[in-house]
Amino acid sequence: MMPDGPERRRPSGFSEAERQSLVGREKSIVLRELSFLRHLTSGGLFPLGILTTGDCRVVTGLYPQILAGMRQVYEQVEPPQIPEAPEYFVERYLLQQFEAGHPVSDQDVDRLREDLQAGKYSRQLDLVRRSLGEEQGSKMVVDMDLSPSKAAQEGGLSSGQYLPDPTGDAIIDNKRQIMMHVQAMREDLKTLYGEVNIQTALLTELLLDAPFLSDLISNKLLDEQAFRRHSAYLQEAIDFVQSIRAEQRIKAFEDATQEFAVSWVATFPPMAITPFDKNYLAKIYAVAQRMLGGEVNLDELHNLLRETVLRRGRVFKAVTKKDNHLELVPAEPESLSWEDIGGYQENTRFLQIMLKKTANKDPLIGDLNIILLAGKPGTGKSLAVSAFLNNLPGNARGIFVDRQDTQRTYVGIVGLAKLHPKLEIFVVIEDIDRGALTGTLLNIDSADPDALPVNVHLIATTNKPEVIDPAVKRPGRTSEILVYESPDEESRREIVRIHIQRYGLDLDESVVTMMISMTDGFTPDEIRHTVYSMKLVDITKPTEEDIGRFVEKMKLRRGAVDTSEDRAQFGIQDLLFGARKA
């Protein structure tokens, strides 16, 4: 964002007295709004990764920074003067309550002024007067670091401070940052909701941060007292939001600082939002609109807040951000059925039985810890995982975890699992033989009840089971090991027929038999690629000569990829369970 010309001072439309009156009034309002915002968002701004996959905060992220920046500028534009001790006392009291996150009503402020006038706190007032006299007209200025929120950073704002130096240049710089925050907030609201309505958006975010959220998500039984608490929070939030006049605050700020002209050309990329989140936010936003119109339906809100990310989707990819919050991104696996997988009938049957037991809520599933799929590349481990996830019953979810960040991500998943005790969560970690995943799996031990909740189960794949710590493979930690060797003759027959049909080739039975014989030792993926390679060059009715040529081509390729002596002489069973060369 670049200035489109030099900033300049322009004449103010206010007299000095009018401007000082406006500044004084706005300072009080800004401080009160900041105090209430801190009070209502003390829960931490709705838990990320639970109701939305990404960070959808706009007003609760940017508006407090805008208000704090305005307050700073108002301190700068006021001329140095010694304030009256009682008013200074009130101002310090308000500031102290704001820093503590305690809201102060106008009635409380009026009562404090009456007490001061009646002679209460006289010794403290004397101390304030002496302090003000010693300062010789100087005033306290709070240096607030207003680094933009995630939404602002994505909009292109740079972090920085609102400077306390009461000079024109500092005011212009601060005003520019404030107005860029305002512009970012408006554009993000337009992206999220199709309109700029700060009040409705603020209530939407406060509903998503409701202090009773965990009770709803975990389906805790709500009694009459709980309903009263929920109603009280909603009424407080609605009353506060209806008292907010953000656009008036922005207009008053521009009026009070109009002599400090600011101009720039700033463009912000649209806020990143998935349709998955946008559709859900639209429902909460509609509820917030109705609430502000006087229609409060607590049951409707409860039902919506129970619709967590996990309950709205089926399979996800987990991403842990730098600030340690977990994002679940919908990620449907490859569309496969069990019929698309040839061979390995025993392994397939085991996985199908686990799905059936999960659907039937069999108590034995609670003891299912790690399922390890072991075999060299191309034997169908990932296909089996995809078919398993495609057939998950309604009470189960799948989450793919990046092996580079397993430990931090798993901590977040454990938290989600505790909020969803009736959902069976299958966490998929592929290629656990790479990186430091063995140590991570050792930390996920059933000896610690918080490490592996009974509704969390791991599905791990490995190409090199020999490098995995034996402690990970022991019974109790790993419930089942499914071995994927090169398929036998009958399995190869099934695999060949699947891919002939998939790619539309026409093979005589004798040619099929020849291919099954010649692909002894091939993995399912190598068989698939041999069929695919013929189709790729428009061979739709391969001869025995074609089969021989393409099989030999694959054998040459296999030799270039895998020349390990150990892996040539030992099967996966040997590598898993400790066989050694004589």
Q: What is the pLDDT of residue 232?
A: 92
Distance, in Å, from the CA atom of 426 to the CA atom of 551, rounded to the nearest integer, reads: 38
Q: What is the pLDDT of residue 132?
A: 61
**Looking at 171-239, which runs of residues are DSSP E strands?**
none
Distance, in Å, from the CA atom of 132 to the CA atom of 91, rounded to the nearest integer, reads: 13
In this structure, of 147-161, 335-349, 365-379, the range with the lowest mean pLDDT score is 147-161
Q: Which two tokens stand for residue 207?
A: 């509903």
Cβ neighbours of 107 (radius 10 Å): 8
Count CA within 13 A, CB hemisphere, residue 18.
9
**Residue range(s) of every CATH 1.10.8 domain in the chain:** 489-572
Q: Which residue has the higher pLDDT, 8 or 416?
A: 416
The pLDDT of 516-545, averaged and rounded, is 92
**Residue range(s) of every CATH 3.40.50.300 domain in the chain:** 328-484
Q: Which two tokens stand for residue 270?
A: 């649209």
Q: What is the CA radius of gyration of the chain?
A: 33
Q: What is the pLDDT of residue 148?
A: 36
User: Is residue 84 pLDDT above 80, yes or no?
Assistant: no
- Please, what is the angle between helix 122-135 and helix 85-100, to 10°? 100
In the sheet with 370-375, reading across from the earlier edge strand, the strands are 326-330, 315-320, 396-401, 424-429, 456-462, 370-375, 478-484
CB 275 within 8 A of CB 183: no
Q: Which two tokens stand for residue 251?
A: 């207009």
Q: What is the pLDDT of residue 133?
A: 59
Q: Which CATH architecture has domain 328-484?
A: 3-Layer(aba) Sandwich (3.40)
Mode of pairing for the β-strands spanning 326-330 and 315-320 = antiparallel
The mean pLDDT value of the chain amounts to: 80
User: Is residue 537 pLDDT above 70, yes or no?
Assistant: yes
Cβ neighbours of 435 (radius 10 Å): 13
Using one digit for the tens of pLDDT, what is the confidence trace for 95-124?
788 777 778 888 888 888 888 888 887 777
Q: Predicted confidence band at 441 (pLDDT cuts at 50, 70, 90)?
A: low
CATH number attached to the domain at 489-572: 1.10.8
